[in-house]
Amino acid sequence: MKSATRLSFTIRLRHCLSATIRLGLCVLSLLLGDGTAATAQEAAPIAVIGASVKQSTWQDPVEALGTLRADESVTLSSTLTATIDAINFEDGATVEAGQWLIQLDDDQAQAELRAAQALLGQRQSALDRAQQLQDRNLGVRATLEDNAALVKQSEAEIDAIRASIADHRLTAPFAGTVGLREISVGALVTPGTELVTLDKLDTMKLDFTVPATLLSVLHPGLTLSATTPSYPGETFRAEVATLGTRIDPVSRSLVVRANLDNADGRLLSGMLMEVQLNRPPRHALTVPESALVPDGERQTVWLIEGDEPARVTQREVTIGERREGEVEVTQGLASGDRIVTHGTLKVREGDTVELITENVGEGDIEGVLERQRKATQSQADD
Protein backbone atom coordinates (compact mmCIF):
# COMPACT_ATOMS: atom_id res chain seq x y z
CA MET A 1 0.00 0.00 0.00
CA LYS A 2 2.81 2.40 0.84
CA SER A 3 4.64 1.50 -2.38
CA ALA A 4 1.59 2.38 -4.46
CA THR A 5 1.23 5.70 -2.66
CA ARG A 6 4.89 6.59 -3.29
CA LEU A 7 4.54 5.64 -6.95
CA SER A 8 1.48 7.85 -7.36
CA PHE A 9 3.28 10.78 -5.69
CA THR A 10 6.29 10.33 -7.95
CA ILE A 11 4.12 10.39 -11.08
CA ARG A 12 2.36 13.57 -9.97
CA LEU A 13 5.69 15.21 -9.17
CA ARG A 14 7.00 14.40 -12.65
CA HIS A 15 3.87 15.93 -14.21
CA CYS A 16 4.32 19.09 -12.15
CA LEU A 17 7.98 19.40 -13.12
CA SER A 18 7.11 18.90 -16.77
CA ALA A 19 4.43 21.59 -16.61
CA THR A 20 6.80 23.97 -14.84
CA ILE A 21 9.46 23.43 -17.48
CA ARG A 22 6.97 24.02 -20.28
CA LEU A 23 5.76 27.19 -18.57
CA GLY A 24 9.31 28.43 -18.16
CA LEU A 25 10.04 27.75 -21.82
CA CYS A 26 6.92 29.65 -22.84
CA VAL A 27 7.88 32.63 -20.72
CA LEU A 28 11.42 32.53 -22.07
CA SER A 29 10.07 32.33 -25.59
CA LEU A 30 7.84 35.32 -24.99
CA LEU A 31 10.70 37.30 -23.51
CA LEU A 32 12.96 36.45 -26.39
CA GLY A 33 10.24 37.27 -28.88
CA ASP A 34 9.56 40.72 -27.30
CA GLY A 35 13.27 41.52 -27.23
CA THR A 36 13.63 40.61 -30.87
CA ALA A 37 10.65 42.79 -31.80
CA ALA A 38 12.00 45.69 -29.73
CA THR A 39 15.35 45.33 -31.39
CA ALA A 40 13.74 45.31 -34.82
CA GLN A 41 11.62 48.33 -33.92
CA GLU A 42 14.66 50.17 -32.60
CA ALA A 43 16.62 49.37 -35.73
CA ALA A 44 13.93 50.76 -38.05
CA PRO A 45 14.88 54.39 -38.89
CA ILE A 46 12.28 57.14 -38.56
CA ALA A 47 11.52 59.02 -41.76
CA VAL A 48 12.03 62.77 -41.37
CA ILE A 49 12.58 65.85 -43.51
CA GLY A 50 15.64 67.94 -42.76
CA ALA A 51 17.37 71.19 -43.63
CA SER A 52 20.83 72.67 -43.40
CA VAL A 53 21.66 75.65 -41.23
CA LYS A 54 22.62 78.42 -43.64
CA GLN A 55 23.99 81.92 -43.48
CA SER A 56 21.59 84.44 -44.98
CA THR A 57 21.37 88.16 -45.51
CA TRP A 58 19.04 89.50 -42.84
CA GLN A 59 17.30 92.83 -42.56
CA ASP A 60 15.59 93.88 -39.36
CA PRO A 61 12.59 96.01 -40.33
CA VAL A 62 11.48 98.86 -38.09
CA GLU A 63 7.74 99.45 -38.04
CA ALA A 64 6.24 102.86 -37.35
CA LEU A 65 3.20 105.00 -38.02
CA GLY A 66 3.64 108.08 -40.18
CA THR A 67 1.61 111.07 -41.34
CA LEU A 68 1.66 112.60 -44.80
CA ARG A 69 2.19 116.29 -45.42
CA ALA A 70 2.24 118.23 -48.64
CA ASP A 71 5.63 119.26 -49.95
CA GLU A 72 4.44 122.87 -49.70
CA SER A 73 1.27 123.96 -47.93
CA VAL A 74 -0.23 127.34 -47.08
CA THR A 75 -3.52 128.88 -46.04
CA LEU A 76 -4.06 132.28 -47.65
CA SER A 77 -5.79 134.83 -45.42
CA SER A 78 -6.65 138.51 -45.54
CA THR A 79 -4.44 141.18 -43.99
CA LEU A 80 -7.10 143.89 -44.02
CA THR A 81 -10.83 144.49 -43.74
CA ALA A 82 -12.65 144.50 -47.07
CA THR A 83 -15.31 142.78 -49.11
CA ILE A 84 -14.58 140.11 -51.72
CA ASP A 85 -14.86 141.59 -55.20
CA ALA A 86 -13.94 138.56 -57.38
CA ILE A 87 -12.85 134.92 -57.12
CA ASN A 88 -10.61 133.36 -59.75
CA PHE A 89 -10.52 129.62 -58.94
CA GLU A 90 -12.72 126.54 -58.67
CA ASP A 91 -12.76 123.83 -56.03
CA GLY A 92 -9.68 121.61 -56.26
CA ALA A 93 -8.25 123.46 -59.27
CA THR A 94 -4.59 123.42 -60.20
CA VAL A 95 -3.11 126.92 -60.27
CA GLU A 96 0.21 128.39 -61.37
CA ALA A 97 2.64 130.37 -59.26
CA GLY A 98 1.65 134.06 -59.26
CA GLN A 99 -1.92 133.44 -60.45
CA TRP A 100 -4.39 135.72 -58.65
CA LEU A 101 -7.06 133.86 -56.71
CA ILE A 102 -9.13 136.44 -54.79
CA GLN A 103 -9.69 140.14 -55.42
CA LEU A 104 -10.83 142.34 -52.52
CA ASP A 105 -12.62 145.64 -53.04
CA ASP A 106 -9.88 148.29 -53.49
CA ASP A 107 -11.91 151.30 -54.69
CA GLN A 108 -10.83 153.43 -51.75
CA ALA A 109 -7.17 152.51 -52.20
CA GLN A 110 -7.38 153.30 -55.91
CA ALA A 111 -8.85 156.74 -55.11
CA GLU A 112 -6.06 157.39 -52.62
CA LEU A 113 -3.57 156.40 -55.29
CA ARG A 114 -5.01 158.90 -57.78
CA ALA A 115 -4.94 161.67 -55.17
CA ALA A 116 -1.35 160.87 -54.28
CA GLN A 117 -0.36 160.84 -57.94
CA ALA A 118 -1.98 164.26 -58.46
CA LEU A 119 -0.16 165.65 -55.44
CA LEU A 120 3.08 164.21 -56.78
CA GLY A 121 2.52 165.98 -60.07
CA GLN A 122 1.95 169.29 -58.29
CA ARG A 123 5.06 168.90 -56.18
CA GLN A 124 7.12 167.83 -59.18
CA SER A 125 6.07 171.03 -61.02
CA ALA A 126 7.07 173.13 -58.01
CA LEU A 127 10.43 171.36 -57.94
CA ASP A 128 10.97 172.03 -61.66
CA ARG A 129 10.28 175.77 -61.22
CA ALA A 130 12.60 175.96 -58.24
CA GLN A 131 15.30 174.19 -60.23
CA GLN A 132 14.94 176.67 -63.11
CA LEU A 133 15.25 179.62 -60.77
CA GLN A 134 18.26 178.04 -59.13
CA ASP A 135 19.89 177.51 -62.50
CA ARG A 136 19.57 181.26 -63.19
CA ASN A 137 20.74 182.15 -59.71
CA LEU A 138 17.36 183.69 -58.94
CA GLY A 139 16.05 181.11 -56.47
CA VAL A 140 16.81 180.14 -52.91
CA ARG A 141 18.69 176.91 -52.39
CA ALA A 142 16.53 175.98 -49.40
CA THR A 143 13.33 176.23 -51.47
CA LEU A 144 14.74 173.80 -54.04
CA GLU A 145 15.65 171.29 -51.34
CA ASP A 146 12.20 171.57 -49.69
CA ASN A 147 10.45 170.90 -52.99
CA ALA A 148 12.71 167.89 -53.68
CA ALA A 149 11.87 166.46 -50.25
CA LEU A 150 8.15 166.89 -50.92
CA VAL A 151 8.46 165.00 -54.22
CA LYS A 152 10.21 162.12 -52.50
CA GLN A 153 7.52 162.11 -49.82
CA SER A 154 4.79 161.83 -52.44
CA GLU A 155 6.64 159.01 -54.20
CA ALA A 156 6.88 157.12 -50.91
CA GLU A 157 3.16 157.61 -50.24
CA ILE A 158 2.34 156.26 -53.70
CA ASP A 159 4.52 153.18 -53.06
CA ALA A 160 2.66 152.56 -49.79
CA ILE A 161 -0.73 152.87 -51.50
CA ARG A 162 0.31 150.50 -54.27
CA ALA A 163 1.46 147.99 -51.65
CA SER A 164 -1.94 148.31 -50.00
CA ILE A 165 -3.61 147.74 -53.36
CA ALA A 166 -1.49 144.63 -53.84
CA ASP A 167 -2.78 143.34 -50.50
CA HIS A 168 -6.27 143.46 -51.99
CA ARG A 169 -5.31 140.78 -54.52
CA LEU A 170 -4.28 137.35 -53.19
CA THR A 171 -2.02 135.37 -55.53
CA ALA A 172 -0.64 131.81 -55.43
CA PRO A 173 2.90 131.81 -53.95
CA PHE A 174 3.67 128.52 -55.74
CA ALA A 175 2.06 126.14 -58.20
CA GLY A 176 -0.29 123.69 -56.55
CA THR A 177 -3.85 122.63 -55.89
CA VAL A 178 -6.41 124.81 -54.12
CA GLY A 179 -8.85 123.39 -51.64
CA LEU A 180 -12.60 123.72 -51.36
CA ARG A 181 -14.00 127.21 -51.88
CA GLU A 182 -15.90 128.29 -48.78
CA ILE A 183 -16.25 132.01 -49.54
CA SER A 184 -18.45 134.04 -51.87
CA VAL A 185 -18.29 137.36 -53.66
CA GLY A 186 -19.51 140.18 -51.40
CA ALA A 187 -18.45 138.53 -48.15
CA LEU A 188 -16.74 140.80 -45.63
CA VAL A 189 -13.34 139.57 -44.47
CA THR A 190 -11.13 140.81 -41.67
CA PRO A 191 -7.41 140.35 -40.95
CA GLY A 192 -6.67 136.66 -40.29
CA THR A 193 -9.75 135.35 -42.08
CA GLU A 194 -8.79 132.10 -43.88
CA LEU A 195 -9.77 132.36 -47.52
CA VAL A 196 -8.27 129.40 -49.41
CA THR A 197 -5.78 126.57 -48.92
CA LEU A 198 -3.03 125.76 -51.41
CA ASP A 199 -1.01 122.52 -51.42
CA LYS A 200 1.82 121.28 -53.60
CA LEU A 201 0.95 117.60 -53.92
CA ASP A 202 3.32 116.23 -56.56
CA THR A 203 5.67 115.21 -53.74
CA MET A 204 4.55 114.27 -50.22
CA LYS A 205 6.52 114.41 -46.99
CA LEU A 206 6.13 111.32 -44.81
CA ASP A 207 7.06 111.99 -41.18
CA PHE A 208 7.36 109.15 -38.65
CA THR A 209 9.17 108.54 -35.37
CA VAL A 210 11.67 105.81 -34.48
CA PRO A 211 13.41 105.02 -31.17
CA ALA A 212 16.55 107.04 -30.54
CA THR A 213 18.41 103.74 -29.92
CA LEU A 214 18.47 103.26 -33.70
CA LEU A 215 20.25 106.54 -34.33
CA SER A 216 23.54 104.77 -35.10
CA VAL A 217 22.04 102.88 -38.07
CA LEU A 218 19.83 105.64 -39.45
CA HIS A 219 21.02 107.73 -42.36
CA PRO A 220 19.55 109.35 -45.49
CA GLY A 221 19.11 106.83 -48.27
CA LEU A 222 17.68 103.96 -46.22
CA THR A 223 14.82 102.34 -48.11
CA LEU A 224 11.33 102.01 -46.71
CA SER A 225 7.90 100.84 -47.74
CA ALA A 226 4.61 102.38 -46.68
CA THR A 227 1.00 101.22 -46.86
CA THR A 228 -2.29 102.90 -46.11
CA PRO A 229 -5.81 101.56 -45.51
CA SER A 230 -7.00 103.96 -48.20
CA TYR A 231 -5.32 101.79 -50.87
CA PRO A 232 -5.34 98.18 -49.58
CA GLY A 233 -2.73 95.89 -51.06
CA GLU A 234 -0.65 98.72 -52.53
CA THR A 235 2.86 99.54 -51.33
CA PHE A 236 4.57 102.91 -51.72
CA ARG A 237 8.37 102.90 -51.68
CA ALA A 238 10.72 105.74 -50.80
CA GLU A 239 14.03 106.60 -49.14
CA VAL A 240 14.85 108.44 -45.95
CA ALA A 241 15.50 112.09 -46.87
CA THR A 242 16.17 113.84 -43.56
CA LEU A 243 16.68 113.02 -39.88
CA GLY A 244 15.33 115.31 -37.19
CA THR A 245 17.82 117.35 -35.20
CA ARG A 246 16.16 116.84 -31.82
CA ILE A 247 15.18 113.81 -29.75
CA ASP A 248 11.92 114.03 -27.86
CA PRO A 249 12.85 114.01 -24.14
CA VAL A 250 9.60 112.25 -23.21
CA SER A 251 9.29 109.49 -25.80
CA ARG A 252 13.05 109.30 -26.58
CA SER A 253 12.20 109.15 -30.24
CA LEU A 254 13.48 110.87 -33.37
CA VAL A 255 11.45 112.25 -36.27
CA VAL A 256 12.45 110.83 -39.67
CA ARG A 257 11.23 112.27 -42.97
CA ALA A 258 10.92 110.59 -46.37
CA ASN A 259 9.65 111.97 -49.66
CA LEU A 260 7.00 110.02 -51.59
CA ASP A 261 6.35 110.63 -55.27
CA ASN A 262 2.72 111.59 -55.81
CA ALA A 263 2.52 112.50 -59.48
CA ASP A 264 -0.99 111.04 -59.71
CA GLY A 265 -2.19 113.06 -56.72
CA ARG A 266 -3.76 110.14 -54.86
CA LEU A 267 -1.99 110.79 -51.56
CA LEU A 268 -3.37 113.62 -49.45
CA SER A 269 -2.15 115.60 -46.46
CA GLY A 270 -2.98 114.10 -43.08
CA MET A 271 -3.20 110.53 -44.38
CA LEU A 272 -2.03 107.84 -41.93
CA MET A 273 0.56 105.38 -43.26
CA GLU A 274 2.15 102.24 -41.83
CA VAL A 275 5.89 102.45 -42.42
CA GLN A 276 8.41 99.62 -42.56
CA LEU A 277 11.96 100.95 -42.50
CA ASN A 278 14.63 98.56 -43.79
CA ARG A 279 17.72 98.66 -41.60
CA PRO A 280 21.15 97.92 -43.16
CA PRO A 281 21.47 94.20 -44.04
CA ARG A 282 23.61 91.85 -41.96
CA HIS A 283 24.61 88.18 -42.06
CA ALA A 284 22.83 85.70 -39.77
CA LEU A 285 22.43 81.95 -39.32
CA THR A 286 18.86 80.96 -40.17
CA VAL A 287 16.76 77.81 -39.88
CA PRO A 288 13.18 77.02 -40.93
CA GLU A 289 10.74 78.03 -38.23
CA SER A 290 9.23 74.54 -38.28
CA ALA A 291 12.49 73.13 -36.83
CA LEU A 292 11.97 74.80 -33.45
CA VAL A 293 10.72 72.60 -30.61
CA PRO A 294 9.64 74.62 -27.55
CA ASP A 295 10.76 73.14 -24.24
CA GLY A 296 9.38 75.32 -21.49
CA GLU A 297 11.09 78.67 -21.85
CA ARG A 298 13.81 77.17 -24.03
CA GLN A 299 13.94 76.57 -27.76
CA THR A 300 15.50 73.37 -29.04
CA VAL A 301 16.08 71.62 -32.36
CA TRP A 302 16.81 68.04 -33.34
CA LEU A 303 20.36 67.92 -34.66
CA ILE A 304 21.16 65.16 -37.18
CA GLU A 305 24.62 63.65 -36.61
CA GLY A 306 26.43 61.08 -38.72
CA ASP A 307 25.43 59.56 -42.03
CA GLU A 308 24.98 55.79 -41.72
CA PRO A 309 23.23 55.52 -39.45
CA ALA A 310 22.13 59.11 -38.92
CA ARG A 311 21.01 59.79 -35.37
CA VAL A 312 19.33 62.76 -33.73
CA THR A 313 20.23 64.60 -30.57
CA GLN A 314 18.36 67.46 -28.97
CA ARG A 315 20.22 70.78 -29.00
CA GLU A 316 19.23 73.96 -27.18
CA VAL A 317 19.48 77.13 -29.29
CA THR A 318 19.17 80.86 -28.77
CA ILE A 319 17.02 82.61 -31.34
CA GLY A 320 16.95 86.21 -32.51
CA GLU A 321 14.61 87.88 -34.98
CA ARG A 322 11.89 86.13 -36.95
CA ARG A 323 10.54 86.58 -40.44
CA GLU A 324 8.05 84.62 -42.51
CA GLY A 325 9.05 80.93 -42.38
CA GLU A 326 12.53 81.58 -40.94
CA VAL A 327 14.14 82.35 -37.61
CA GLU A 328 17.58 83.67 -36.73
CA VAL A 329 19.80 81.46 -34.54
CA THR A 330 22.40 83.34 -32.49
CA GLN A 331 23.79 80.43 -30.44
CA GLY A 332 23.78 76.64 -30.50
CA LEU A 333 24.30 75.85 -34.19
CA ALA A 334 26.93 76.32 -36.87
CA SER A 335 26.61 76.85 -40.60
CA GLY A 336 26.14 73.52 -42.38
CA ASP A 337 24.58 71.65 -39.44
CA ARG A 338 21.63 69.45 -40.39
CA ILE A 339 18.43 69.59 -38.39
CA VAL A 340 14.97 67.99 -38.49
CA THR A 341 12.26 70.27 -39.83
CA HIS A 342 9.33 67.83 -40.20
CA GLY A 343 8.95 64.83 -37.93
CA THR A 344 10.19 66.56 -34.79
CA LEU A 345 7.39 65.03 -32.70
CA LYS A 346 8.24 61.44 -33.74
CA VAL A 347 11.90 61.31 -32.76
CA ARG A 348 13.58 60.82 -29.39
CA GLU A 349 17.12 61.26 -28.18
CA GLY A 350 19.47 58.92 -30.05
CA ASP A 351 16.90 57.65 -32.58
CA THR A 352 18.14 56.69 -36.02
CA VAL A 353 16.49 58.64 -38.80
CA GLU A 354 16.10 58.40 -42.54
CA LEU A 355 16.17 61.69 -44.42
CA ILE A 356 13.42 61.66 -47.02
CA THR A 357 14.64 64.96 -48.46
CA GLU A 358 16.41 68.14 -47.44
CA ASN A 359 16.00 71.88 -47.89
CA VAL A 360 12.57 71.88 -49.50
CA GLY A 361 10.13 74.78 -49.39
CA GLU A 362 6.94 74.70 -47.39
CA GLY A 363 4.93 74.47 -50.58
CA ASP A 364 6.70 71.25 -51.59
CA ILE A 365 6.28 69.41 -48.27
CA GLU A 366 2.85 68.01 -49.12
CA GLY A 367 4.09 66.50 -52.37
CA VAL A 368 7.09 64.91 -50.65
CA LEU A 369 4.92 63.34 -47.96
CA GLU A 370 2.48 62.00 -50.55
CA ARG A 371 5.29 60.33 -52.51
CA GLN A 372 6.67 58.81 -49.30
CA ARG A 373 3.25 57.46 -48.37
CA LYS A 374 2.84 55.81 -51.77
CA ALA A 375 6.32 54.29 -51.58
CA THR A 376 5.62 52.86 -48.11
CA GLN A 377 2.27 51.45 -49.28
CA SER A 378 3.96 49.82 -52.29
CA GLN A 379 6.55 48.10 -50.06
CA ALA A 380 3.81 46.86 -47.77
CA ASP A 381 1.89 45.37 -50.70
CA ASP A 382 5.01 43.55 -51.88
pLDDT for position 315: 93
Among residues 212, 210, 220, the alpha carbon closest in space to that of 259 is found at: 220
Q: Which residues, 6 or more positions from 175, have their beta carbon under 8 angstroms from its beta carbon?
A: 94, 95, 96, 97, 200
Examine the pLDDT at 45 and tell me if it is beyond 90. Answer: no
Task: Give dist(CA 194, CA 179) in Å, integer.
Answer: 12
- The length of the chain is 382
Examine the pLDDT at 365 and tell me if it is beyond 80. Answer: no
pLDDT for position 323: 84
Q: In this structure, what are the phi and psi dihedrals at residue 291, rounded to the nearest 5 degrees?
A: -80, -20
Examine the pLDDT at 25 and tell me if it is beyond 50. Answer: no
Q: Which residues, 6 or more positions from 92, have their beta carbon under 8 angstroms from its beta carbon?
A: 177, 178, 179, 180
Q: Dihedral of the CA atoms 227, 229, 234, 235 (nearest 10)?
A: 0
pTM here is: 0.61
Examine the pLDDT at 352 and tell me if it is beyond 50. Answer: yes
pLDDT for position 261: 93
201 pLDDT band (50/70/90 cuts)?
very high
Of 277-286, 322-331, 369-378, least confident by mean pLDDT is 369-378
343 pLDDT band (50/70/90 cuts)?
confident
Examine the pLDDT at 317 and tell me if it is beyond 80. Answer: yes
Task: Give dist(CA 68, CA 206) in Å, integer.
Answer: 5
pLDDT, tens digit, for every residue of 59-89?
A: 778 899 999 999 999 999 999 999 999 999 9
User: Strands of 188-189's sheet, edge to edge?
Assistant: 169-171, 100-104, 82-87, 188-189
141 pLDDT band (50/70/90 cuts)?
confident
Q: What percentage of residues in the chain have a pLDDT greater than 90? A: 51
- Mean pLDDT for 228-240 is 92
367 pLDDT band (50/70/90 cuts)?
low
Judge contact between 224 and 240, C-beta under 8 A.
yes
Examine the pLDDT at 335 and tell me if it is beyond 50. Answer: yes
